[in-house]
Amino acid sequence: MNILISNDDGIFSPGVLALAEAIACEHQVTVVCPDRERSATGHALTLQEPLRVDSIKGIFPENVTAWACSGTPADSVKLALDALLPHRPDLVLSGINRGANLGTDVLYSGTVSAAMEGVLEGITSIAFSLTSFASLEFSAAATFAKHLVRHLSQQPLSEAVLLNVNIPAIVPADICGVRLTRLGIRRWRDVFAKRVDPRGKTYYWLSGEVVEEEATADSDIQAIRNNYITVTPLKYDLTLESHLPKVEEWLTDTDLENFNPC
């Protein structure tokens, strides 16, 4: 298969190198990633300045074509699909990210957004994340990625879908298996550190910590706690189907349904 790989940690991150090395031994791989870390950029696009790309040599296997893009993860995939690649890829991969993308994290994740850009173009895509910011041991995640891609090449899905995959950052022998999961809920406590730069200007640095997790038995959060790799199918339609009848009734009762500003 022809496979496009991107990420949000940047072209020089060890995770994307591990993923490219694992996949390139069986498939044709092109890597297009941001030229620096662009974590938590969501699905942002660059519209107020041009995108620039540079060919990257000497890092990836010789059979891998690699480009560094000045934009976001979503920019990188859009540019690859519409300008850099001679043919549409069969699959878009994103990662391997440093840090989990569980539950509601997917709304902010550049890793997941890069993969979602592939789905928006009708291409099945997979986002891979290692559940640790500190670990640089990507071998188990890369091996699983290779097996999952091999399986998809033999048994393709019937429609374009995003598979969000999280791999526990533990000794491979301690991984209990793979679970199909739903998204859980993670709530963060945002911390804005107030600082002053050398010119006397105040600035704020955002950090935070997870303060609450809602994890049902079939959620990705609970499966990771139990040392399983998680696979969660995602879609971009955020419509809350269960509330359509209620909101329709509410609009009718409040006479807003036929609102006319004139």
pLDDT (0 to 100) of residue 257: 66
**% of the chain exceeding 70 in pLDDT:** 96
Give 186 or 161, the one with higher predicted confidence: 161
Distances (CA, A) of 257 to 187, 253, 254: 35, 9, 8
**% of the chain exceeding 90 in pLDDT:** 79
C-beta neighbour count of 66 within 10 angstroms: 22
pLDDT surpassing 90 at residue 261: no
pLDDT (0 to 100) of residue 248: 85
In a domain, 27, yes or no: yes
In a domain, 207, yes or no: yes
pLDDT (0 to 100) of residue 249: 84
In a domain, 138, yes or no: yes
149: domain CATH number?
3.40.1210.10
In a domain, 261, yes or no: no
- 45-87: pLDDT as tens digits: 999 999 999 999 999 999 999 999 999 999 999 999 999 999 9
What's the pTM?
A: 0.91
Asked whether 180 and 152 are in contact (CB, 8 A), the reply is: no
Closest CA to 56 of 67, 46, 69: 67
pLDDT surpassing 90 at residue 162: yes
In a domain, 190, yes or no: yes
In a domain, 258, yes or no: no
pLDDT (0 to 100) of residue 79: 97
Q: How far is 240 from 256, CA to CA, in rounded Å?
A: 20
pLDDT (0 to 100) of residue 253: 72
pLDDT (0 to 100) of residue 43: 94
Q: Please list the residues that pair with 2 across neighbouring strands.
A: 28
Mean pLDDT of the chain: 92
- 13-47: pLDDT as tens digits: 999 999 999 999 999 999 999 999 999 899 999 99
- 120-151: pLDDT as tens digits: 999 999 999 999 998 889 999 999 999 999 99
- 165-209: pLDDT as tens digits: 999 999 999 999 999 999 998 887 888 889 999 999 999 988 877
In a domain, 92, yes or no: yes
Q: Please list the residues that pair with 97 across neighbouring strands.
A: 129
Domain coverage including residue 95: 2-253
pLDDT surpassing 80 at residue 223: yes
pLDDT (0 to 100) of residue 191: 84
In a domain, 17, yes or no: yes
In total, how many domains does the chain have?
A: 1
